[in-house]
């Protein structure tokens, strides 16, 4: 299956997971989603579904796009087929 050319499938798509805080003085951090080439950065406080969709479509004509899968496919299993499903 050929996946669309969007930021989701680019090598530069970056997700930093949230980190739990230890105390009031070390509160941790929120999740962050960004382009490793600085083409876009989603502000966690301004984000919504429409903004996320629009930013992901930048990969369509981005000069820095690099396919994250050499064969342009993912190993997808429906939820019903997974152990956690």
Q: Is residue 24 part of a domain?
A: no
Domain count, the chain: 1
Kindly report which listed range (5-9, 23-27, 40-44, 70-74) carries the lowest average pLDDT score: 70-74
- How many other CB atoms are found less than 10 A from the CB of residue 40? 15
In a domain, 39, yes or no: yes
Do the domain assignments include residue 58?
Answer: yes
Q: State how far the alpha carbon of 70 is from the alpha carbons of 9, 10, 18, 26, 75, in Å.
A: 11, 11, 29, 40, 13
Comparing CA positions, the residue from 15, 5, 16, 25 lying closest to residue 65 is 5
Q: Establish if 1 belongs to a structural domain.
A: no
Chain segment 26-69, per-residue pLDDT in tens: 777 777 888 999 999 887 777 889 988 999 999 999 999 998 87
Among 66, 76, 63, 47, smallest CA distance to 8 is for 66
Domain contains 69: yes
pLDDT at 21: 73
Q: Quote the pLDDT of residue 1.
A: 58
């Amino acid at each position: 299956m050929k996946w669309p050319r969007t930021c989701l499938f680019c090598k530069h798509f970056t997700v930093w997971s949230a980190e739990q805080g230890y105390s009031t003085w070390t509160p941790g951090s929120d999740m962050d989603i960004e382009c490793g080439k600085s083409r876009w950065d989603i502000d966690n406080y301004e984000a919504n579904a429409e903004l996320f969709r629009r930013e992901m479509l930048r990969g369509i004509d981005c000069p820095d796009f690099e396919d994250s899968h050499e064969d342009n496919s993912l190993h997808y299993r429906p939820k019903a087929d997974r152990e956690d499903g």
